[in-house]
Amino acid sequence: MAEIECRDLVKKYGAKVALNGVNLSLEKQRIIGVAGPNGSGKTTLIKLIERLLTPTSGEILIHGLQPGKETKEIVSYLPDRDFLPDWMKVKELLDFFEAFYSDFDRVKAENLMDKLEIDYNLNFKKMSKGTREKVQLILCMSRKAEVYLLDEPLAGVDPAARDYIIHTILENYNEDGLVLISTHLITDIESILDEVIFLQNGKVLLHRNADDLRAETGRSIDDYFREVFAC
């Protein structure tokens, strides 16, 4: 059984079609990149899996279940913007995740926070943008989830922060799970991808094994991405 199944998935916002007949079957023990230009449907797909949105038609199954309360217990979601209460201190955020998620590993989270010398009494809103992003990533990756949904985790961060994010993902995700990363910065994550999906105008243009795609095209995934989506 695939960990995530999308069957004839359609999402419309009024007259605008964001996803148009998406069919995907995604297995466990994979890191999969969802790539495409802005407006291709990447964030919409992530939000549908997380059930922040509902499909106009079609179906999504996560571990055989429709998105809902049960799937939120096995899905760890990192949105493309700040999502934590800005009045909470770091200690309170740890308390919140520990109380809310049974798969949250507080010791792991605290070890990662300590390496960054993050003050547990610091309010979220008083942190720098880079520190906020790292705290949110640590909390997300400290869950032993079956699915990790990471929406543009590298957008707007400096190269050093990108290295930290990639390292944190690789070192801390549940290897029996599935990591789905939406991005338009293929070059930064290409080395960690097992599979890649290209979205264009809400449709799946390509879904391939990363090594096979490189072998068949004779180029990097980033170079091929730039060719496919060249203006």
Domain CATH code at residue 160 = 3.40.50.300
**Is 146's pLDDT higher than 90?**
yes
Identify the three-state secondary structure at position 115. Answer: helix
**Is 82's pLDDT higher than 90?**
no
**Is 231's pLDDT higher than 70?**
no
Identify the three-state secondary structure at position 58. Answer: strand
Strand 16-26 and strand 30-35: the pairing is: unpaired
215 burial class (0-12, 13-18, 19+ CB within 10 angstroms)? exposed
**Structure token pair of residue 126:** 């008083």
Reported as a single tens digit per residue, the pLDDT across 179-210 is 999 988 888 899 999 999 999 999 999 999 99
Query: What pTM did the predictor assign?
Result: 0.94
Number of folded domains that form the chain:
1
Reported as a single tens digit per residue, the pLDDT across 94-120 is 999 999 999 999 999 999 999 989 999
pLDDT, position 7: 97
Q: Which of 215, 222, 180, 169 lies closest to 25, judged by CA?
A: 180
- What is the average pLDDT score of the chain? 93
Domain that holds residue 145: 4-228
Residue 17 CA to residue 15 CA, distance in Å, equals 6
pLDDT, position 4: 97
